[in-house]
Amino acid sequence: MKIERKSFGTIKKTGQEAVLYTITNKNGASVDLSTFGAAITSIKVPDKNGKIKDVTQGYSSVAPYEEAPVGHAGGTIGPCANKIDNGTFKINDKEYKLECNKDNGKTHSHGGSDGFDVKNWNAEVLKDGIKFTYNKKDMESGYPGNVKVSVTYKFDNDNKLHIKYNAESDNDTLINLTNHTYFNLDGAENAEENSVLNHIVELENSSHYTVNNEIAVPTGEIASVEGTPFDFREERKIADMINKKSNQLEIASGFDQNYCVDGYDGKKMIKIAEVKSEKTGIKLEVETNLPGFQFYTANHLGKSAQPEGKDGKRYEKRSAFCIEPQFYPNAVNTDAFKEKPILKKGETFDREIIYSFETDD
């Protein structure tokens, strides 16, 4: 395993240097990781013809990651991924108020504008990966507790990327960490609108999803996917499902829904997604020990003045998909959601995501 280090540019806000690490395995497959956001900026894997393809959207320096008005591309999301209604939550009967940075000031999303994906993390080089660490101060971004967080990426010769999340706090707090990589298995250079719709998706362990209100905050209802456009328990093309009549799809302008993981126990790794490109033969499998995941078809890309991506193209609407393992959105405020993203003082948050890449000949 070869690990290289280079400058990724200067962070405008702090003047710090962002560093980019590249892990390359014996197959010539590689993963690029940035200290800014503890982010995945590139995953390059072989297609069915043995040609190396970059399958993740991203940028060629740190500047666009600071400037992009939408995205969180590849970043480590936290302290709490997804939405918190009204930006308020209670722990031990004490109410906390967070920045409402989404839905015209109605929700707190993805840790706010000063979340983990815009922090410059410390990096430790391992023999087969990188361990990023960040120490969040008490009440930073409105969240209680001094929290020590680590994200460890390990890439192996089977083209599997293991992501391990660890956190400890000196006070009860919220922790819900995920990764926000945008994938296009045809190749990330396919940046045009709707370029992800021919991907084939199977979500075999998701028989239920959480129903959203008009601003895409869960109502507390958990519904069966049976007979809905959200039923991917068998292989389906995104194009065959995304335009079906559904108020849930209309709210999000496509797929942007939390799925519930069947068989979840908080420990065992469960396969939650398999996505394939017929064009390249590249297949992505996702496993996790988190209770839910967001399936998102990048419906909000292209709306703003997005910077050019690393291929010199602007990423347009539905040009990628995300699979974001997580606790259910707004779980801290929703009685019906039993699994809460609350980290108790003295306990350890320990969760994992695995992205595995293969080819179908």
Residue 76 phi/psi, 5° resolution? -80, 120
Rg (CA), the chain: 19
Write down the pLDDT at residue 304: 66
Distance of alpha carbon 238 from alpha carbon 318, whole angstroms: 10
Q: Residues in the chain, how many? A: 361
Global pTM value = 0.97
Segments forming the whole domain that contains residue 26 = 2-196+296-359
| CA-wise closest residue to 82 among 272, 334, 350 | 334
How do residues 309-350 score in pLDDT, each as one tens digit? 998 899 999 999 999 999 999 999 999 999 999 999 999 999
Identify the active-site residue in 110, 180, 199, 208.
180
Residue 163 domain-assigned (yes or no): yes
Identify the bridge partners of residue 154 per DSSP, sorted by sequence position: 129, 162
Cβ neighbours for 312, distance < 8 A, ≥ 6 positions apart: none
Write down the pLDDT at residue 361: 66
Residue 323 domain-assigned (yes or no): yes
Identify the active-site residue in 66, 274, 287, 324.
324
Question: Is 110 annotated as catalytic?
Answer: no
CATH number of the domain at 7, please: 2.70.98.10
How do residues 35-75 score in pLDDT, each as one tens digit? 999 999 999 999 999 999 999 999 999 999 998 766 689 99
Lay out the sheet containing 348-359: strands in order across. Answer: 122-125, 129-136, 147-155, 160-169, 348-359, 282-288, 270-276, 200-202, 236-237
Number of domains into which the chain is organized? 1
How do residues 170-205 score in pLDDT, each as one tens digit? 999 999 999 999 999 999 999 999 999 999 999 999
Residue 272 domain-assigned (yes or no): no
Question: Is 72 annotated as catalytic?
Answer: no
| CB atoms closer than 10 angstroms to residue 115 | 24
